[in-house]
Amino acid sequence: MTTVASRIVRSSPHRSTSATWECIVELLTQGKNDAARKELLAVEGVAASIISDKAPQDSAIVVSCDGPQTRVYCLYDEAALDESDAKEDALGYEPLKGNWAVSLPCTEADLAWVQRSLKAKSSRITARDMSTKLREAEDTTSSAKPLTIDLKAFLGS
């Protein structure tokens, strides 16, 4: 069962494509985790290219780890100017805890070279076709509820 949190980052023209990726890296590394920061910044050009294609507008950058999953979307053009549409506040957990991985959305035309380029730089950062549907997010409140056996129903069955 996966708990999911989302963040919405203002991209071009509020921030450049490179600055957008650097903002996402800050959000994920929370000012620490030097090794992860280095690995994420090593793919800045590829990520910025994907951001310039507006792939993360409707298809999330998915960050998985031993804790909750984080989905990051980007705002563009007029929407990027409006602060109220964004959600860039710090996450209340470590989004790169333990065995982390990042999946970047990508246009079909770019997928082959992006996958090849990422593979040469990182084993944790991969790309997927942006039209691939993500699994529905689990409701965090229901997943947190403890379960117990309904003895009456069990014995009566």
Partner 1 sequence: MSAVAVYSYTQSVTYVADNILKSLKDIILMGGLDPDKLVGEWTVLLRGISKWIESRHLEFVTLEIFDPANDSLIRRWDIAMVYAWDMDAGTFWTDTDQLRFALKKAGLSPSQAKYRVLVKNKDGQPAVEGWNDTKFRSTDGFVKQSLGTTIEHNGLSATTGYWRAT
Task: Tell me how far, at minimum, the Cβ of 39 lies from partner 1, in Å.
Answer: 16
Binding residues (CB under 8 A) for partner 1: these are 12-18, 44-46, 48-49, 52-53, 77-78, 81, 109-110, 113, 116-117, 120
Its sign, for the CA torsion 22, 109, 87, 103, is negative
Count of positions (residues) in the chain? 157
* CA triple 92-96-97, angle to 5 deg: 85
Which CB atom, from 15 or from 124, has the smaller least distance to partner 1?
15
In whole angstroms, the minimum distance from the beta carbon of 53 to partner 1 comes to: 7
Query: Cα 83 vs. chain centroid, distance in angstroms?
Result: 20
Q: CB nearer to partner 1: give 44 or 138.
A: 44
Write out the H or E segment, with its range, that includes residue 71.
strand 69-75
**48/61 with CB nearer partner 1:** 48
Cα–Cα distance between 124 and 69 in angstroms, integer?
15
- Choice between 4 and 127, CB closer to partner 1: 127
Q: Answer whether 70's CB lies under 8 Å from 103's CB.
A: no
Nearest approach in angstroms of CB 130 to partner 1 is: 15
- Smallest separation (angstroms) from partner 1 to the CB of 16: 5
